A and B are shown apart, each in its own frame.
Chain A
Amino acid sequence: MERVAIIGIGLHPFGRTPGMSGLDQGVFAARKALDDAGLKWSDIGIAFGGSRSSGHAMAATNQLGLTGLPFINLYTGCATGGSSLFAAANAIKSGAAKYAMAIGFDKHERGAFSPSAKNNDIPSWVSETGLMVTTQFFALKLQRYMHDYNISHDTLVKVAEKAFKNGSLNPNAWRKSIVSYKEIAESKMINDPLRKYMFCSPAEGGAALILTSETEVRKMGVKAVFLEATEMRTKNYGSFEVYDTCLAANIQPTATSNAAKAAFESAGIGPDDIDVLQIQDTEVGAEIMHLAENGFCKHGDQESLIQNGETLISGRIPVNTDGGCIANGEPIGASGLRQVYEICLQLRGQAGSRQVLNSPKVGYTHVYGSPGVSAVNILATS
């Protein structure tokens, strides 16, 4: 199977941008990605895009140009960006188009999302009785995990501290100020053990990537970042996922573990070969648990890994170097593509003051969305 290459990346800064719609920010990102690739919109043969709160992604063609291309709107919760890229990569592999775009944008209202029971095939009484709050899931999964694997509250604070530190080095981040250990540790309790500054918040932003085949890259004579693997999985029976009203007697590995395993198998490399990674950090517990679910350490080893600073930009396995969801906020349609944007910058050596040293060559991204979807990518410079 021919390899897929990323030859253009574009981003509209995340955060709050008054006067620009979510779609405007997506168009901004798309134009940046086209410039980066040296292509015109009319060169794009197929596109996949998503947004939760800013309308149909395809409506971006009103501004980009009505070229008549196939444009597929998709939505898989917080994993939407990962799914757009997964679909676009497979379109290139199939030969459906020479150039494909994965695009995502959003502009959410302030405050937490209010998921719909009906849209998730959950009985209405679950949300009416206060049992369908996404942040409860994070806390319930983390509380049990901390108990089973001896993860300390101190480690939770350190993950948030790192996110804000990395965000302060990223001009495109929403939260660009350092938040102190004390402020995080004493911030308002939201869902025990998770406090206010340990969560990411809904935000705004746009991101776009342009893909082509390895053959085309050689013809064009351009530099590219190659997708060594792109895999996506939905929940399997027995895994503990968001919105579950009951859990099986025997808990099974998550959609994340299954997607990660498939990606490493497909790329023929292992977690030890990854130089820099982005993993879904909807809150600090997610980053901690996803580290092990993706195979980067054994369950429970996060405690020493994080305490020893191994996940810092200067550490052995730098995690969420751009500040992740916690410092960037989460415009759902764009978030998974932002992760890949950051890895491309790191692999190209263009990450500025947050550049991982010693020229990272292999990167990794992971998103997780409701109601139990995970998409992961392995990216490499050659």
Chain B
Amino acid sequence: MDTVYENLVFDDNGLVGSQCIDCKEYFFPKTKSCSNCSSVDMTNKNFGTKGRLWSWTTQNLAPKAPYFLHDIKEDYQIYGVGFIEMPCGVKVKSRLQVSTVKFEIGQRMELKTSILEKPNGETLPVFEFRIEKE
């Protein structure tokens, strides 16, 4: 497992979140406590790599700082944002890869880890979902 930040864990096997041991609710990213029942007994849960598009939008303007690429004005690449409903029911907010196929609620989506890169060589690993290839 690649731990990108303390609470952000993902790799090609899936996104890792938390499950509450007491009420069984799922959370992403990993959390220290349960916002449903206030329990602090949490366990890791791998949500897998596949889900369905629950809602989507596009980010047509470059977000302001601290967005990693906020200072790259020319050649801005529109990206998608969506909630992916994972098999366990939790919906995870994620970047979406834009392609020629229009997003539609209910589409089958798959996880694709990726790297955001600046001209100066700085990089940021990200997780994204894309429409599943037939």
Contact = CB atoms under 8 A, between A and B. Distances in A.
A149 to B, nearest CB: 12
A125 B92 CA distance: 14
B55 A143 contact: yes
A373 to B, nearest CB: 16
A81 to B, nearest CB: 25
Given A125-B8, A144-B55, A191 B60 contact: yes
A220 interface: no
A353 interface: no
A136 B51 CA distance: 20
Contacts of A250: 89
A150 to B, nearest CB: 13
A328 to B, nearest CB: 23
Contacts of A140: 55-57, 81-83, 93
Contact of A246 (B5, B27, B59, B126): B27
Interface in A179-211: 188-194
Nearest to A140: B55
Contacts of B89: 248-250
A129 B25 contact: no
A129 to B, nearest CB: 5
Interface in B86-103: 88-95
Contacts of A119: none
B59 to A, nearest CB: 6
A147 B36 CA distance: 27
A136 B54 contact: no
A128 B124 contact: yes
A246 B64 contact: no
Interface stretch (A24-32, A237-245, A310-318): A237-245
B74 to A, nearest CB: 17
Interface centre among A111, A117, A125, A250 (most CB of B within 10 A): A125
B68 to A, nearest CB: 5
Q: Which of A130, A136, A188, A249 has the most CB of B within 10 A?
A: A130
Most buried by A among B25, B35, B60: B60
A85 B26 CA distance: 36
A130 B35 CA distance: 24
A112 interface: yes
B63 A133 contact: yes
A128 B90 CA distance: 23
A346 B88 CA distance: 50
The 5 A-B residue pairs whose C-beta atoms are closest, nearest first, are A249-B89, A139-B57, A144-B55, A247-B91, A246-B28
Interface of B: 4-8, 17, 25-29, 35-36, 54-61, 63-69, 79, 81-83, 88-95, 105, 116, 124, 126
22 contacts: A123-B29, A128-B68, A129-B124, A131-B94, A133-B59, A133-B63, A133-B81, A136-B81, A143-B55, A144-B83, A144-B105, A147-B55, A191-B57, A192-B56, A192-B60, A238-B36, A246-B17, A246-B83, A246-B93, A247-B54, A248-B91, A249-B26
Given A188-B60, A192-B56, 5 more contacts: A123-B8, A144-B83, A191-B59, A238-B36, A248-B89
